[in-house]
Amino acid sequence: MKSQPPGPGPATAAEEAVGAGTSAAPPSPLRGLAEPVRGRLALAVGLQAVAALAGVVPFIAVSRIAERLTEGSAAEGDALWPLVALACSAGFAALVCGTAAGALAHLADNDLQLTLRRRLARHIGRLPLGRLTDRGTGEVKQAVQDDVSALHTLFAHTLLDVVSVLTAPLLTLAYLFTVDWRLALISVAPLLLGVLLFGRAMAGAAAQMAEFGAATGRISAAAVEFASGIAVFKSFGRGHRAHERFVRATEGFADFFSGWVRSTLATSTAAILVVAPAVVLLLLAVPGAVFVTQGWMTGAALVPFLLLGPAVAAPMGVVGPRIQQIRAGQAAAVRVTALLDTPTLPEPTAPALPDGHHVRLRAVSFSYDGNTDVLSGVDLDLAPGTVTALVGPSGSGKSTLASLLPRFHDVTAGTVTLGGADLRDIPATELYRRVGFVLQDVRLLRAGVADNIRLGRPEATDEEVERCARAARIHDRITELPDGYATELGTAVTLSGGEAQRLSIARALLADAPVLVLDEATAYADPHSEALIQDALSALAAGRTLLVIAHRLSTVRSADRIVVLEDGRVTEQGRHDDLLAAGGRYTALWDAQRNADPDGADGVPDQRPTRAGADIREGSAR
């Protein structure tokens, strides 16, 4: 979840601030998510605390034995056996309790993961489609996989580790105080010094973190640009240009990070050094030797300090990675909770079924952010069996308007009705049986060709699947695949963009929704592919109510109605010839496209050797 350049070992202050700064999330989402397994986790924590304390007892027993052996007589040797027994039983208890705590935490975490993943899957399934298409699959994958794994690390491992590193030193210290309070105080010194130095190394981490975030952001942006632009740059013989910005961004990051590491190097190295076992031993051995030689304590009393002293400061050595894991867990909990809190598509309280397939938009406004309207006061009628084309400049709201029909989003004001029923009152399954969509960005499942086509109607027969594939002009290509209709997609076989589009058209044909939203593809690989797709679309359009997002005006010239959108408002609507005669915005758009592509905007069907450019309406009439 963070990127770090390889750095010198003691660069921990910077590294740990990175982990600590990944999120300043409050812990409450974490508690909320853990609620169902809280009891078991608490029991695991208790057992782990017992295990940690019991784990110290053998060391105490050994130091007591050492004391007695160095001080005692042979008769006292017999008194050693109870200590040996105590050491063995405490060690055994530590083992049993530790194992039980680990098993309990893992079982609780396993249930938590299952519950969380089920909740996420159920919730994501009920989210508005627009929420999923806007944010893409990355967010879902992160929540379901990465974030749930981060929570596993936290609940099944870190939690128990933290209990151990906090409880064991407490008992150790308490025991050392009973042996000699002066040397016990000295044994605390490395810990205090470590905390002080670590705190100094972390000073200013917030500002550095902000720069760290900005620098990694610049690398990510440059990496995306690099990946998507490399082919273009290379094709113009300027391959080196593509990575210039990326290299600059990574160099900038390396400079910043090494500067940060350099500025904290001395203090973070010192922090690590003062808590290192060898250093702690030295720090205790020297004053201890003085105490013994001065007769302030016995040599035997020094033994527990040499055995147990390094354990007092030990937590400092592992505090950084644990803080990182806790922060990562908190950040994951915040993301998972946010996803679970995203409002789902409200199911109607009083469901209504459409009577017919007339689509009406009345005074429709829509805003993505709740502030700026992307659509304002749109009135539109899609009569059954007609083709309506949405045209307009980029960003005018065409896709947004079209996305309201399959309820990717709900309107912010106004109504969209289908057969007289408000879309919000139609149960989702009923709506999707009536409103289909074919988008430019075709998503095929990692499944057989036939299963991909059957998606909208799983019970369809093989004959029906083949009939739709033929109509969508993809049957011939399917028969060429190694296993025909049974061929698994996405493994050995990948379809071209045009083929995938025709497959998605076959899918829509089989689903047979009477109302269809179609995002016309902006580019086809070649005239042959374009002609096939246009034929497939024509088959799809026949007899349906069609709303087409038209990127090329030539393809929708004979639509029943062309609607011109500008800044989210309908500024013109009518048939092609009428709109041209009116000499308004449509004429300007038409002229602009004709000038930009003289072959593509006017008379396309007649001028190409294939049916490339034949418009949907002509096709539907055939």
- Interacting residue ranges for ligand ATP, rule: CB under 6 A: 134, 368, 374, 392, 394-400
Q: Work out whether the CA dihedral 464, 466, 472, 478 comes out positive or negative.
A: positive
Q: Which is nearer to ligand ATP, 113 or 344 (CB)?
A: 344
For the beta sheet containing 435-438, the strands, ordered from the edge strand earlier in sequence to the opposite edge, are 435-438, 515-519, 545-549, 387-391, 561-566, 569-574
Closest approach of ligand ATP to the CB of residue 579, in Å: 18
Closest approach of ligand ATP to the CB of residue 397, in Å: 4
Closest approach of ligand ATP to the CB of residue 127, in Å: 14
Closest approach of ligand ATP to the CB of residue 376, in Å: 12
Q: Which is nearer to ligand ATP, 304 or 397 (CB)?
A: 397
Residue pair 310/6 in contact (Cβ under 8 Å)? The answer is no
Closest approach of ligand ATP to the CB of residue 375, in Å: 8
Write down the H helix ranges in 298-405.
299-341, 398-404
Closest approach of ligand ATP to the CB of residue 529, in Å: 21
Closest approach of ligand ATP to the CB of residue 34, in Å: 33
Q: Which is nearer to ligand ATP, 209 or 550 (CB)?
A: 550
Closest approach of ligand ATP to the CB of residue 155, in Å: 34
**How crowded is residue 68: how many other Cβ atoms within 10 Å of its Cβ?**
16
Closest approach of ligand ATP to the CB of residue 409, in Å: 9
Q: Please give the biggest Cα pair distance in the chain.
A: 120
Q: Which is nearer to ligand ATP, 34 or 374 (CB)?
A: 374
Closest approach of ligand ATP to the CB of residue 551, in Å: 6
Residues in the chain: 622
Q: Which is nearer to ligand ATP, 398 or 507 (CB)?
A: 398
Question: Judging by beta carbons within 10 Å of its beta carbon (0-12, 13-18, 19+), is residue 159 exposed, middle or buried?
Answer: buried
Among the listed residues 365, 384, 385, 363, the one whose alpha carbon sits nearest the alpha carbon of residue 375: 365
Question: Tell me, what DSSP letter sits at residue 609?
Answer: S
- What three-state secondary structure class fits 373? coil
Q: Which is nearer to ligand ATP, 48 or 376 (CB)?
A: 376
Residue with tokens 């539907």: 620
Q: Which is nearer to ligand ATP, 352 or 547 (CB)?
A: 547
Residue pair 555/597 in contact (Cβ under 8 Å)? The answer is no
Rounded to the nearest 10 degrees, how much is the dihedral formed by the CA atoms of 207, 211, 217, 220? -130
Closest approach of ligand ATP to the CB of residue 472, in Å: 24
Among the listed residues 473, 146, 556, 198, the one whose alpha carbon sits nearest the alpha carbon of residue 335: 146
Closest approach of ligand ATP to the CB of residue 130, in Å: 7
Give the angle subtended at the CA of 377 by the CAs of 372 and 380, to the nearest 5°: 130
Q: Which is nearer to ligand ATP, 167 or 396 (CB)?
A: 396
Closest approach of ligand ATP to the CB of residue 597, in Å: 16
For 365, phi then psi, to 5°, come to -125, 150
Q: Which is nearer to ligand ATP, 187 or 400 (CB)?
A: 400
Q: Work out whether the CA dihedral 378, 553, 394, 585 comes out positive or negative.
A: negative
Could you give the C-alpha distances from 494 to 75, 249, 446, 480, 498, in angstroms and in order? 85, 35, 10, 13, 12
Among the listed residues 373, 362, 344, the one whose alpha carbon sits nearest the alpha carbon of residue 418: 362
- Distance, in Å, from the CA atom of 205 to the CA atom of 218, rounded to the nearest integer, reads 19
Q: Which is nearer to ligand ATP, 4 or 133 (CB)?
A: 133
- Distance, in Å, from the CA atom of 354 to the CA atom of 423, rounded to the nearest integer, reads 9
Residue pair 201/267 in contact (Cβ under 8 Å)? The answer is yes
Q: How far apart are the first and last CA of the chain?
A: 56
